[in-house]
Each structure stands twice: as structure tokens, then as C-alpha cells.
Amino acid sequence: MVSFFLHRLRLALITIFGVTLLVFIAARLSGDVVYTLVDASAGQEEIDKMRRQLDLDKPVWLQYISYVGHVARGDFGRSIRYQRPVVEVIAERIQKTVQLGLAAFAVAVSLGISLGILAARTRGSLIDRAARTLAVLAQSMPHFWIGIMAILIFAVILRWLPTSGSGTWQHLVMPALTLATFPMAAIMRITRSSMLETLDAEYVKFLRVKGLAERLIVWKHALRNALIPVVALSGIQLGNLLGGAVIVETVFSWPGLGNLMVESIVSRDYPVIQSGVLMIAVFLITLNFLVDLVFGVIDPRIRYN
């Protein structure tokens, strides 16, 4: 078990190094922050001074080494745009994204799994067909389109919900549901097919031979088996939510991490971009690890190997 953890940790560190290095270079290739900070009339001297101040006059590899050294000591630098420590800027925004992401994920998982089970148990019925059609629709509509339609209908026409911003639970409803549509549909579809497959399994037949009640067969045995691929997919979908959040946060002006990343890229706020990506990488790696732990809890074949 310990060697397993060490192995995972080593892989995680390598991944993080790779990702940060890539972002470090890509951010600098995307354009020069100095020109966004000085007046258009500024002379070369002023530009060079600004560059020195920001430590951007050294070769990129030296900059990277110095960055890694600072991060290792817990210093993530200052935001060029906000003139505040990066940690503060990100901390404010990340709360909002966690709120949005968890709300969306909770909706996606609970509705996705229940609808999947319902569809599987009523296979071929009207409910089943309606659920499948909706899932295909939900998966083929892009987030920004769903978001704009939602704003149009529920905020502009019906005036039930605020168009954008954050603060009250009403502000959360549309962005969370918009973000939830895709993962919900994906989770529903895999739950349905996985459930159908387990219900046809030979061991389910043997449970019936033993005379067990149908409710025990479905909820104790079939569901637990059916959940294995659902857990794997849910982990992937939770990771994908971050990508969706960038768009949804922009559409609804939700002041989260996705929104911050877009702003920072536009204004070339290197320290924020770097730390934001670092956060996301750490989050995804932790997520993968947690998914593996959940597998171990569900499936003894994994626990014992």
C-alpha cells in the first residue's frame, strides 16, 4: 500500500512539473505582458525597466527555475494585474467555482443515476425512450447555447431568475444546471447500459433462483455492480466540469476560477495563469486518486490486488 502511494506521488510530481513547464512557456509565447502595462508612447528604456522589475529580462529557463524555487517555498508570486498575492486572488475565486462545480456535480450524479436506473428498469417504455432522447439532446448542445437560452427564457422572459452574477442561491440555479446538463446525460446513459448489462448477468439469474426479492436484487446486487463504470465516468466528468466552468462562468459572469483564468490570459497575468493551472492539475490528480480509492471500496477484486 505504501509503495502504491509513493508510486502515485512520483507520477503526480512528474505530471505537475510537465504541466507547469508547458504553461510557463506557452504563457510567454502568447504575448508580452510588458506592452499591456506601459503606455503606447513609452520608450525602450521604460520598457526594459518594467521588464527588469517583473524579472522577465532573464532567459525563460532561469525564470522557470526561480519560479519552481519560489513555489517550493510556498511563494506563488503577485498578480501583475491586481497587484496582490496570487494566492489571495485565486482563493477568492476558487470558492465560487467549487460552489458552482459541486452544485452541478451533485445534480448530475443524483439525477443521472436515478434516471439511468429508471430507464433501465423500464427498458423500451416511453419513459426509457424519452430519457434517452433527452440525453442525446443534452449532450449535443454546447454550454454557451444552453446558457444563453436559459437566460433568455428564465431571466428575460419569465423573470424568475437573475441573468448573471452571484450572491444568492437564485444566482446559482442557472449556471449550475447549465453546467450539469452534459455530465448528467453522460452519467444517465452509462448507468442505464451498465444496469441493463448487470441485470442480464448470470449471477443475477442465480439470485432469482435463490428466491430473493426483486428489490434486493436490484438495489443491493445489480446497482453496486453497475456503479463501477459509473464511478469511473463520474470522475472524468467532474474533471471536465472545470472546462465547462470556464464557459459557463463567462456566460453568467460568475466570478469563479474559470472567469479569472480567461481574464488573466487576456491580460497576460503570468503568475495567476501559472498558479491557476497548477491548482487545476493538482485537483485533477487528486480526483483520479480518489476515484481509485472509491473503486477499492466498491470492488473487492481491486482491493485485494
Partner 1 sequence: MGGTSTKDGVLLEVRDLEMSIFADGGNRIVRAVNGLSFTLRRGRTMGIIGESGSGKSMTSLSILRLLPRGARILGGQVLFDGRDLVSLAERDLRRMRGRHIAMILQDPMVSLDPLYRVGDQVAEPLRTHQGMGGDALRARVIELLGAVGIPAPESRFNQYPHQMSGGMLQRIVGAAAISCGPELLIADEPTTALDPTVQAQYLDLLEELQQRTGLALIVITHDLGVAARLCDDVIVMYAGRAAEKAPVRTLFERPAHPYTQALLSTLPGRRAPDDIKVDAHKRLPTIEGQPPDLAALPPGCPFAPRCPRADAKCRTEMPPEVSLATDHSAACWYPTT
Kindly report the number of other CB atoms within 10 A of residue 236's CB atom. 16
Per-residue CA distances from 25 to 31, 59, 197, 278 (Å): 11, 11, 47, 14
Closest to partner 1 by CB, 225 or 275: 225
Report how many residues bind partner 1 under the rule CB under 8 A: 22
Is 206 one of the binding residues for partner 1 (CB under 8 A)?
yes
Is 301 one of the binding residues for partner 1 (CB under 8 A)?
yes
Q: Residue 123 CB, nearest distance to partner 1 (Å)?
A: 9
Among 177, 207, 281, 291, binds partner 1 (CB under 8 A): 207
Among the residue ranges 21-29, 44-52, 68-76, 292-300, the one whose residues contact partner 1 (CB under 8 A): 292-300
The torsion angles phi and psi of 62, rounded to 5 degrees, stand at: -70, -40
Ramachandran area for residue 5 (φ above 0: left; ψ -120 to 50: alpha; else beta): alpha
Among the residue ranges 149-157, 208-216, 236-244, 275-283, the one whose residues contact partner 1 (CB under 8 A): 208-216
Report angle CA 293, 298, 299 to the nearest 5 degrees: 95
Is 212 one of the binding residues for partner 1 (CB under 8 A)?
yes
Among 14, 62, 102, 216, binds partner 1 (CB under 8 A): 216
Three cell numbers at 195? 444496469
Is 209 one of the binding residues for partner 1 (CB under 8 A)?
yes
Per-position b or e across 36-65, b if 16+ CB within 10 A of its CB: ebeeeeeeeeeeeebbeebebeeeeeebbe
Is 194 one of the binding residues for partner 1 (CB under 8 A)?
no
Q: Which residues bind partner 1 (CB under 8 A)?
A: 200-203, 205-213, 216, 221, 224-225, 298-301, 304
